[in-house]
Amino acid sequence: MDTKNGNRHALVTGGSRGIGMAIVEALLKDDCDVWYLSRSQGETLEKLTPLAKSLQRQLSWIACDMGNRESVEEALDAVIQQAGTVEILVNNAGITKDGLLMRMKDEAWDDVLSVNLTASFLTCRKIGRLMASKRQGTIINTSSVVGIMGNGGQTNYAASKAGLIGFSKSLAKELSGRGIRVNVVAPGFIETAMTEALPDSLKDTIKTQIPLGRIGSAQEVAEVVVFLASDKASYITGQVLSVDGGMAM
């Protein structure tokens, strides 16, 4: 069986760096044309355009603030207009605004829920409709080990990531009749801009809580996303796949 996705159109949110950029690269290598949404272009377009060209694949960036409904709707319309259709949707954009609940400002709650959860509702609604009409497509939403286990100082982030899990399982049930699979990837502690700001002492403490004893790479998450998007995962829907070195066992 040809396990590559083959000539599919993929939309990745938050593709300008980190895990999202690794997902863009892995999907290009898996024969997808890729559109990514983020506020800044990041290095992705410049770094990966030569790869896309060598693979005869299309790589495009569309500016979008996932925390702004109008911006999301406009960007999705632009992707649909350019791509014609979308067979793979990866909701990856995410932010943290950490703090103890007793001191948390409304803005920190609203912003995190808006980018991490509401934006996925908007993308899944619009792209899900498209997929449902074509009876083809797959969606991967990015949660976190924190959405499974909780973490002090991250009530807003945990709520958004746990919310994504319930959202995705419900959507998987709604769309299964159309042959559309919806799954969740739940990274643990991954080396990206989101985690690099943490002090080394905290990183060392976190490492002791990871059974595999090391921090993960963005590529290790991207490989799992490509797997879930591929026909290799054709009988998997409504699942949460942890990529966390065993943290959430």
* DSSP-assigned letter for residue 122: H
Is residue 190 at the binding interface for ligand NAP, with CB under 6 A as the rule?
yes
63 vs 236, which CB is nearer to ligand NAP?
Answer: 63
Residue type at position 249:
M
Contact between residue 183 and residue 139 where contact means Cβ atoms under 8 Å apart: yes
Distance from C-alpha of 188 to C-alpha of 78, rounded to nearest angstrom? 33
Is residue 207 at the binding interface for ligand NAP, with CB under 6 A as the rule?
no
Indicate which single residue of 5, 16, 138, 155 sits in contact with ligand NAP (rule: CB under 6 A): 16
As measured in angstroms, the least distance from the Cβ of 179 to ligand NAP is 26
Is residue 163 at the binding interface for ligand NAP, with CB under 6 A as the rule?
no
Catalytic residue among 35, 36, 61, 157: 157
Is residue 40 at the binding interface for ligand NAP, with CB under 6 A as the rule?
yes
Distances (CA, A) of 102 to 27, 155, 156: 41, 10, 12
Indicate which single residue of 9, 33, 42, 247 sits in contact with ligand NAP (rule: CB under 6 A): 42
Distance from C-alpha of 215 to C-alpha of 190, rounded to nearest angstrom? 6
Distance from C-alpha of 108 to C-alpha of 77, rounded to nearest angstrom? 28
Helix (H, G, I), strand (E, B) or coil at 82: helix
Q: Which stretch binds ligand NAP (CB under 6 A): 24-32, 89-97, 171-179, 225-233?
A: 89-97
Helix (H, G, I), strand (E, B) or coil at 58: coil
Is residue 74 at the binding interface for ligand NAP, with CB under 6 A as the rule?
no
Q: Which residues 109-128 are close enough to bind ligand NAP by CB under 6 A? A: 115
Indicate which single residue of 10, 66, 86, 140 sits in contact with ligand NAP (rule: CB under 6 A): 66
Whether residue 157 lies in the annotated active site:
yes
Indicate which single residue of 93, 140, 165, 247 sits in contact with ligand NAP (rule: CB under 6 A): 93
Sheet with 138-142, edge to edge strand ranges: 59-63, 32-38, 8-13, 88-91, 138-142, 181-187, 240-243
Contact between residue 122 and residue 94 where contact means Cβ atoms under 8 Å apart: no
Contact between residue 184 and residue 218 where contact means Cβ atoms under 8 Å apart: no
As measured in angstroms, the least distance from the Cβ of 144 to ligand NAP is 4
As measured in angstroms, the least distance from the Cβ of 162 to ligand NAP is 12
Binding positions for ligand NAP, rule: CB under 6 A? 14-20, 38-40, 42, 64-67, 92-95, 115, 142, 144, 187, 189-190, 192-195
By annotation, the residues acting in catalysis are 157
